[in-house]
Amino acid sequence: MKQIVLAMHEYVNAHKTFPSGYIVDPGGGTTLLGPGPPAVPETIVIPLGPPQGGVVHQAVINDWAVSDDWSWPAFILPQMGQGTLIIDYRKKKTHPDNDAMIQTVIPSYMCPSASLPDARPGKYGYLLYRGCMGTSPPQGSQQGVPTTNGLLYENSAVRFRDISDGETYTMLIGETLMGLWGDGFSCCARVADDDYDNVPDRGTDGQVPTNSPSAFDTYWRQAIAGGGGNIHFFGFGSWHGDICNIGLADGSVRSIGKNIDFDILKALATRNGRERIPEF
């Protein structure tokens, strides 16, 4: 994680802004991998937090829809020491030249504690970290308005001067349970509280709205329009029990408890909320 955060700083030095969380391709869409081999050769089962009421929640994945959008894990490849991985952004992600690149396993995008099958969806490399999009759209916004109060979100170009809350108190990236670095759907997450009731909007039961609200180890899926597969979304979470690691905008890495006060977590997720954050 530390290498990723430092690579982000090197990117800022070169481009004056943090990379975009993801860049929307107006002509893009989704590409379904699976179900079944060879695209998803092995069903993936991921535990979602501790048992709740005697029920163990799991994400069971046997297909995977990939977004055509490119995102920050691809943009910082040179800063990650992956200069031999050349993405041709003039070509579609599914072009053989690009497809070969995103099948590369990048050790720094992995977490040693993760228990995921070696047989990866589409053979794409895993990504166990997500950029922080922020929290929620402004009150009164229409449903579907993108969140823009974090550091990495749709078409973002955030500068250090935009972090008015201070780099030490602003989350840049956080761990997650599952993702693929070549998949735009895997790039980012947010601390969602769209109805402003101080209860997480996501949970560990795979449903939206959720009956098991949680700030970490969250998962939900969205059926592709017209049928034929699902988009699988994961929020922040980890394979470390009660601990989740986060990278801050100042370049540091911290371990936080999954029982952290939700108000503090929301404050860390925003760059310009003017919240007062106690020691965490």
What pLDDT, on the 0 to 100 scale, is given for residue 144?
Answer: 64
Q: Is the pLDDT of residue 168 over 90?
A: yes
What does the alpha-carbon distance between residue 102 and residue 166 come to, in Å, rounded to a whole number?
A: 34
Q: Is the pLDDT of residue 142 over 70?
A: no
Could you read off the pLDDT of 253-271 as tens digits, one per residue?
999 999 999 999 999 999 9
Say how far residue 241 (Cα) sits from the centre of its chain.
19
What pLDDT, on the 0 to 100 scale, is given for residue 143?
Answer: 65
Give backbone dihedrals phi and psi of 131, rounded to 5 degrees, phi first: -70, 150
What pLDDT, on the 0 to 100 scale, is given for residue 38?
Answer: 79
Q: Can you tell me the mean pLDDT for 18-32?
A: 89
Could you read off the pLDDT of 47-101 as tens digits, one per residue?
998 777 777 799 999 999 999 999 999 999 999 999 999 999 999 998 999 999 9
What pLDDT, on the 0 to 100 scale, is given for residue 196?
Answer: 86
**Contact between 43 and 98 (Cβ < 8 Å):** no
Q: Is the pLDDT of residue 274 over 70?
A: yes
Could you read off the pLDDT of 125-141 as tens digits, one per residue?
999 999 999 998 776 66
What pLDDT, on the 0 to 100 scale, is given for residue 137?
Answer: 78
- From the DSSP assignment, how many helices (H) and strands (E) are in the chain? 4, 13
Q: What percent of the chain has pLDDT over 90?
A: 76
DSSP-assigned letter for residue 141: P
Domain ranges of the chain: 2-269
Instruction: Please list the alpha-helical segments (H only) found in the chain.
Output: 2-15, 72-75, 96-101, 262-269
What does the alpha-carbon distance between residue 81 and residue 27 come to, in Å, rounded to a whole number?
A: 31
Say which residue the tokens 């209860």 belong to.
199
CA 47 to each of CA 12, 116, 117, 201: distance values in angstroms, whole numbers, following the listed order: 36, 11, 14, 19
What is the value of pTM for the model shown? 0.94
What pLDDT, on the 0 to 100 scale, is given for residue 66?
Answer: 92
What pLDDT, on the 0 to 100 scale, is given for residue 269?
Answer: 97
> Residue 183 has which token pair?
């998949």
